[in-house]
Amino acid sequence: MKNTIKVERAKKNWTQEDLAGKIGISRQSVNAIETGKFIPSTVLALKMAKVFGTNVESIFQLEKQD
């Protein structure tokens, strides 16, 4: 699964710390999700989409092997 969290953050000019504070997780956890090491739950993905003002599908996309 790939994601566009870094792009979305850049659009808003947010640091990982800023995003982490807005969705109630740690900066390290944001980093783990952003780098694809951890796939977030639906709830967390929806929270992210909400703070970015977009939908989940535009942040997370399945890859061929998924």
Is residue 59 within the footprint of other proteins (CB under 8 A)? no
Interacting residue with other proteins among 4, 25, 49, 56 (CB under 8 A): 25
Interacting residue with other proteins among 40, 52, 59, 60 (CB under 8 A): 40
User: Angle at which helices 16-23 and 5-12 pack, to 10 degrees?
Assistant: 100
Nearest partner of 34 among 62, 65, 7, judged by Cα? 7
The footprint of other proteins (CB under 8 A) covers: 24-26, 28-29, 31-33, 35, 37-38, 40-41, 44
